[in-house]
Amino acid sequence: MSAIEAINRVQEIEQLIGRLQAGVSATSTAADDFSAALSNTFSVVADTGVTTGTTGQDIVDDARKYLGVPYVFGGTTTSGMDCSGLVQTVLRDEGISAGRLVHDQATLGTPVASLKDAQPGDLIVLKNNEHIVIYAGNGKVIHAPHAGTVVKEVSNWLTDSDIETIRRVAPGRSPATASVGAANASALTAAQVTQLLGSIQSSMLAGMSGGSGVGSTSALLSLLTGSPR
């Protein structure tokens, strides 16, 4: 969401809150418009195709549900799965669309420079797209190795020279703050959304009890950008 879009959204929300505070019925079009405005404001999806609700740790936790599933070439179910089948299944569980084969998954998300920068949930693709594993953190990976084995979590044996690419398809537990005030479009963090929702709720309650109501556009925008009021 760009700065201009954020300003427009905030102004729209202010106007709709004002109409609700003036006594418009909750069943009216204004209430529906207000709900739609909030939905539009907070339905922020990163360019990588990953929703802001999924974290890297979520991916790891989901992958651990499949530990012990037998390796089956081409498989994508609990009856059996291969390395890319495991990745596709886990990402699908988390609402992330991914191709079936390793070479498709090797282009997901954003690149990570090296193993030392890897975070839980990152996908590690071996040279020539021969294999893919999920980094679990603390020097561990989760993968479906080969026929005759099962999905397992093991110590990482890879070095940077073994790796074609590392892909980040979801942020860690604490996503870095994205600045809406930047020249390019950025996504809102969960913390910013929560803070803004709290401000809107407080403003509505203040207005209904005879208080001053919602603050200025710049005050609300500061919650989005993290800039001082």
Domain segments of the chain: what residues? 1-50, 56-168
Catalytic residue, candidates 9, 143, 167, 168: 143
83 labelled catalytic: yes
For residues 151 and 146, give the distance between their C-alpha atoms in angstroms, rounded to a whole number: 9
Residue range 146-173: mean pLDDT, rounded: 94
Question: pLDDT tens digit string along 194-221?
Answer: 566 666 656 555 555 555 544 545 555 5
Residue range 101-115: mean pLDDT, rounded: 96
pTM: 0.57
Catalytic residue, candidates 17, 63, 83, 221: 83
pLDDT for the residue 28:
52
- Which tokens belong to 174? 């604490």
Catalytic residue, candidates 121, 123, 131, 221: 131
146 labelled catalytic: no
- CATH 3.90.1720.10 assigned to domain 56-168? The reply is yes
143 labelled catalytic: yes
